[in-house]
A and B are shown apart, each in its own frame.
Chain A
Amino acid sequence: GDSVTQMEGPVTLSEEAFLTINCTYTATGYPSLFWYVQYPGEGLQLLLKATKADDKGSNKGFEATYRKETTSFHLEKGSVQVSDSAVYFCALGRNKLIFGAGTRLAVHP
């Protein structure tokens, strides 16, 4: 069946560092791919999405490219801020969302 695998956290970075959170998926066909972010004590916010191969989703300095050949959707940001500290979920969408386990990011000044 469909599944999503994320790198384990926590990821701890200094402010202005480069961020990569790896996400790979297993699925038949061409599902949509998403990154959601969850700040402490809050619900999930859609960060970005891509609906077909080679699409690049971007928002708030974050980017991810839908790579069919490597079945990946890695999240990147060139310069993280303390306010980016949160849990990031990669998800695959069909008739329901299939989430990865989540990666906690902590950014220190």
Chain B
Amino acid sequence: DTEVTQTPKHLVMGMTNKKSLKCEQHMGHRAMYWYKQKAKKPPELMFVYSYEKLSINESVPSRFSPECPNSSLLNLHLHALQPEDSALYLCASSRLPQETQYFGPGTRLLVL
């Protein structure tokens, strides 16, 4: 089983709202990732968590705040987003860092 789940599937938020995206895996993977994907583009890495610790932040603006409460769960907290942040947000996990990544279905975010 290589399932990564993400909630919600769709999200619409205003620029003053605070919301969170959730990602979960029960495969015992110790690395988890957040990607952002704009239309007709490849995914862009945002954050990497390795053994529940943030190991890579790809210079993401502070209005995006990741959190890894435990080895199965990864959150992305959103605050004061801009319309250009509208995108598909993908979560992925791998058994260990640098191993094969398995992606969730994504959350489609629209910022108004």
Name A's B-contacting residues (CB within 8 A). Answer: 32, 34, 36, 42-46, 49, 89, 93-97, 99-102
Contacts and interface: CB of A to CB of B under 8 A. Distances in A.
A99 B37 CA distance: 11
A94 B45 CA distance: 13
Contacts of B40: 102
A32 B100 contact: yes
Interface stretch (B11-19, B68-76, B78-86, B103-111): B103-111
B106 A42 contact: yes
Contacts of B43: 44, 89, 97, 99
A93 B102 CA distance: 13
Interface residues of B, number: 22
A108 to B, nearest CB: 21
Contacts of B88: 43
A90 to B, nearest CB: 9
Q: Pick the most buried of A32, A46, A93, A97: most chain B CB atoms within 10 A of its CB.
A: A97
Interface in B55-99: 56, 88, 90, 92, 97-98
SS class, residues of chain B in contact with chain A: loop
B98 A93 contact: yes
Interface in B8-54: 33, 40-43, 45, 48
Contacts of A94: 98
18 contacts: A36-B103, A43-B6, A43-B88, A43-B103, A43-B105, A44-B43, A46-B102, A46-B103, A49-B100, A93-B100, A93-B101, A95-B56, A95-B98, A96-B33, A97-B101, A99-B43, A102-B40, A102-B41
Given A96-B45, A96-B48, A99-B42, A46 B100 contact: yes
